[in-house]
């Protein structure tokens, strides 16, 4: 089993908090960090500059597929970002907590 980090952006605090609480409660994710960010992107042939919330979902390789599926199903965006970040190293005590929190 390996640690997995998945990131996604959300339009508002309410939507990201709702999914974060659901995923931690059902143990699909051990932890979700939520940060307010500024995003500049192209959408419908226009350059957009907006505030968003970045969610960093922490889980294990065992829950990777289910986590991504649940993020996609509950996401408010038409085209949600669901990106997996490769974790090549993690401290043992944190990994032990991660595994224990997702089983």
8 A C-beta contact, residue 16 and residue 34: yes
CATH number of residue 37's parent domain: 3.30.70.120
| SS percent in the chain: helix, strand, coil, step 5 | 35, 40, 25
pLDDT in tens, 31-74: 999 999 999 999 899 999 999 999 999 999 999 999 999 999 99
| Residue 66, CB-side half-sphere exposure with 13 Å CA sphere | 14
71 backbone dihedrals φ, ψ, rounded to 5°: -60, -50
Instruction: Name the band, by pLDDT with cuts 50, 70 and 90, for residue 95.
Output: very high
How many domains in the chain?
Answer: 1
- DSSP bridge pairs for 4: 59
Q: Structural domain of residue 8, as residue ranges?
A: 3-101
pLDDT in tens, 15-31: 999 999 999 999 999 99
Only one residue has tokens 């960010």, namely 37
Res. 86: pLDDT tops 90: no
Average pLDDT of the chain is: 95
């Amino acid at each position: 089993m390996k640690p997995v980090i998945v990131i996604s952006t959300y339009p508002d605090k309410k939507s990201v908090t709702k999914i974060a609480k659901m995923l931690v409660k059902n143990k699909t994710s051990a932890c979700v960090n939520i940060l307010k960010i500024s995003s500049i992107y192209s959408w419908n042939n226009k350059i957009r500059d907006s505030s968003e919330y970045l969610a960093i979902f922490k889980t294990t390789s065992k829950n990777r597929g289910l986590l991504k599926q649940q993020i996609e199903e509950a996401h408010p965006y038409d085209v949600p970002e669901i990106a997996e970040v490769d974790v090549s190293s993690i401290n043992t005590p944190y990994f032990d907590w991660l595994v224990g929190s997702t089983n």
